[in-house]
Amino acid sequence: MTTELRPVAPAYIGSLKPYQAGKPIEETAREYGLPEASIIKLASNENPLGMPPAARAAIDAILQGGARYPDPNGHALKTALAQRYKIEKNWITLGNGSSDILELVARAFLQAAQPEQDCNAVSSQYAFMAWQNAVKATGARMIQVPAKDYGHDLDAMAKAVTPATRVVYLANPNNPTGTFFSLEQLSAFLERIPGDVVVLLDEAYNEYLEPQLRYDSTELVRRYPNLVVSRTFSKAFGLAGLRVGFALATPYVTDLLNRVRQTFNVNSLAQAAAIAALSDDDYLNESYRLNREGIVQFYALCKELGLTYVESQGNFVVIKVGNSAELFDALLRRGIIVRKVVDYGLGEWLRVTVGLPKENARFFAALRELVTVSA
Ligand code: PMP
């Protein structure tokens, strides 16, 4: 081996920016000399209720089988999902979180840019960073269509599709802005997209939608064979640490996604917990209720302090705070972890996840103090 040589990766791999995740509680405690129990994390759109109790019991029951590989086909979880979403099992792909689904779609449908073969993915400005990275890791070109009112400009996105476009990515609601588009807007968009272009509709925050905005994603997937809907157990179902997500798509697309999937991508604890969480309606309803109640309070506080915010259908709100780095740090020193969104080009904003009432109250008190002081 000669030391002056090193393994060669394509330039687009070297240019990837590692995903900046929410700052962990343990790390904040270490760096700021705070007790872990005094820290609240409103940074990663996690569920503040903790894991559903039924999921915990399901994990306990499965633990003793930990020496065995998980079911590679997720039979029991797919059966439960099929029942709930009124779809056949061969329309379902399981993922190690829905980030895994986003990667599977990128890997299956995008290819490294070759001089003679252009290939691109169309997304909106403020598209979820993990999707942007999944696209870039394939070497395909990323086309970012400027947002309208912080949300998707579906008309401009449809116009941005070219013969080189293989995937269009939509998030409804969107992270980090929380914006939402209606079924009518979505259907009109889908009518305009050629059948050989995949539309990846990321519905990670679907369960937080207000009832009058909800629509039947299964019906859409049946109507549009180029549509892939992705969902997650990380948010309203309260299982972010276990990593489970899934996709709904035609058997043809599902088969392709399964070809690029790691055989054992969803571990056995995650599969068992997801089945339990799926039938815990009380937990899900409480997640929804608590979140809507909190969102309204977030809006009220922003109005009180004269801060601009974007109305959100997710479990978080982006707030325009001006010097976000300074405020982020001042909040950290008070044991409150929120999220900077500078990577999205929202340098003056912070994204804050709705927590438990007492966590929100602590954040509100800190913001009142810090924003008034700096005004
Ligand atoms: N899509 C969106 C829009 C998200 O905000 C997130 C989580 N932040 C995900 C997908 C992925 O979540 P997970 O991998 O935990 O399912």
Tokens 């005094």 locate to 38
64 part of a folded domain: yes
Q: How many CB atoms lie within 10 A of CB 229?
A: 24
102 part of a folded domain: yes
Taking the C-alpha atoms of residue 251 and residue 207, their distance in angstroms, rounded to an integer, is 25
- Based on the domain organization, do 72 and 160 belong to the same domain? yes
> Which of 170, 174, 234 to mutate to test ligand 1, by most ligand atoms within 8 A of the CB atom?
234
CA-nearest residue for atom 2, ligand 1, is 204
- Based on the domain organization, do 245 and 327 belong to the same domain? no
5 part of a folded domain: no
Residues spanned by the domain of 346: 21-50+282-374
- Based on the domain organization, do 323 and 341 belong to the same domain? yes
Structural domain count of the chain? 2
Backbone angles phi, psi at 40, to 5 degrees: -115, 140
Taking the C-alpha atoms of residue 330 and residue 9, their distance in angstroms, rounded to an integer, is 40
The residue from 256, 279, 302 where one domain ends is: 279
- Based on the domain organization, do 192 and 253 belong to the same domain? yes
User: How close is the Cα of 267 to the center of ligand 1, in Å?
Assistant: 18
User: How close is the Cα of 174 to the center of ligand 1, in Å?
Assistant: 10
3 part of a folded domain: no
15 part of a folded domain: no
User: How close is the Cα of 20 to the center of ligand 1, in Å?
Assistant: 13
- Based on the domain organization, do 288 and 215 belong to the same domain? no
| Ligand 1 within 6 A of CB of 97 | yes
125 part of a folded domain: yes
Using DSSP bridges, classify how beta strands 120-124 and 141-145 pair: parallel, antiparallel or unpaired: parallel
User: How close is the Cα of 224 to the center of ligand 1, in Å?
Assistant: 23
What type of residue is 275?
I
The residue from 279, 295, 311 where one domain ends is: 279
- Based on the domain organization, do 88 and 153 belong to the same domain? yes
In terms of residues, how long is the chain? 375
Spell out the per-residue pLDDT of the chain, length 375, in tens: 677 888 788 888 888 888 889 999 999 999 999 999 999 999 999 999 999 999 999 999 999 888 999 999 999 999 999 999 999 999 999 999 999 999 999 999 998 656 567 899 999 999 999 999 999 999 999 999 999 999 999 999 999 999 999 999 999 999 999 999 999 999 999 999 999 999 999 999 999 999 999 999 999 999 999 999 999 999 999 999 999 999 999 999 999 999 999 999 999 999 999 999 999 999 999 999 999 999 999 999 999 999 999 999 999 999 999 999 999 999 999 999 999 999 999 999 999 999 999 999 999 999 999 997 444
- Based on the domain organization, do 126 and 202 belong to the same domain? yes
- Based on the domain organization, do 349 and 207 belong to the same domain? no
Longest dimension (CA), the chain: 65
Is the link from the previous residue into 70 a cis peptide, with omega within 30 of 0? no
Q: What angle do CA 149, 296, 363 make, to 5 degrees?
A: 100
List the helix and strand counts (H, then E) for the chain: 14, 12
Taking the C-alpha atoms of residue 222 and residue 298, their distance in angstroms, rounded to an integer, is 38
93 part of a folded domain: yes
CATH number at residue 289: 3.90.1150.10
